[in-house]
Amino acid sequence: MTLNEIAYNILNLVRGGRSSNNDHISLDQIKFNVQYYRAMFIRRDFTRNGIITRSLEQDLGCLELEKVDASKCCNLPVECAVYKTIKKIPKTVRFSFRDAITHVSDVTGIGTIPLVESHVVQWLPYDKYTKDKYKAYMIEDYMYVYNANGLGFINVRGVFEDPKDVALFDCDDSDCYNDNMDYPLPADMLQMITQGILSTELVMLSGSMNDTTNDAAQDTGTPPQPSPPNQGQK
């Protein structure tokens, strides 16, 4: 389903199938809540099962690398080759101890590059078994690749906080994404998100702000009349 279809479906459930021109609950509010609950349920499922559903993954394509001064990165010896992505990586869903990056490789997809924590990078030159191997790590939303001489591009996949960011990642045109495009969300999670929104967020909004007398009609109450001015006694 698309994000618009998801949001309209939830709004229709809130209305009980009725149309109204006095909605205090906007589609933008519903879309925000869909994104929020999506990230929450993905994080919960990974914590419980340690598994990421493939249908949630998005591919960033080929990311160009640029060489940077190694002395600026984790106290690496200056003779080490350090490369980073030219573009920032979109924010991923937050897990307890790692980013939700699911795959890093060369552009063939065959040469997988291990993703490590940035704080261990300073020790890589001293590991006799892996010091000559590629290693990837994240710093301030950029992906760095250790020992990346001759590696001009990498491929990255992950589960991202806002799927729209991925659609816009490699495009400078506002037409690259709209809410009528496919939204990465499995059917079982969609049901949980819908139930979560209906039972919490929208109940509070509709209960406190809904005009119960308006279904494309005006309220019929008569406003109180002002008291006549005091004429005084003669």
pLDDT recorded at residue 79: 61
Whole-Å CA distances, 93 to 28, 42, 159: 20, 8, 6
SS3 label, residue 115: strand
pLDDT recorded at residue 173: 58
The 3-state secondary structure of 136-191, one letter per residue:
EEEECCEEEEECCCCCCEEEEEECECCHHHHHCCCCCCHHHCCCCCECCCCHHHHH
Q: Can you tell me the distance from the alpha carbon of 32 to that of 161, in angstroms, rounded to the nearest whole number?
A: 11
pLDDT recorded at residue 229: 47
pLDDT recorded at residue 133: 84
Tell me the pLDDT of the chain (234 aa) as tens digits: 899 999 999 988 877 755 555 556 788 989 999 999 999 999 998 888 888 888 899 999 889 999 887 666 555 555 655 899 999 999 999 887 778 999 999 888 778 999 988 888 777 777 777 777 888 999 889 999 988 777 889 999 999 999 888 887 877 655 677 889 889 998 889 999 999 988 886 666 655 555 444 444 444 444 444 444 455 444
pLDDT recorded at residue 120: 81
pTM comes to 0.74
Ranges of each domain in the chain: 3-53+182-209, 58-158
Q: Is 105 exposed, middle or buried (0-12, 13-18, 19+ CB in 10 A)?
A: middle
pLDDT recorded at residue 217: 42
Place of tokens 């291990």: 114
Give the residue among 208, 213, 225 at the shortest CA–CA distance from 25: 208
pLDDT recorded at residue 192: 92
pLDDT recorded at residue 234: 44
The strand pairing partners of 84, in sequence order, are 66, 144
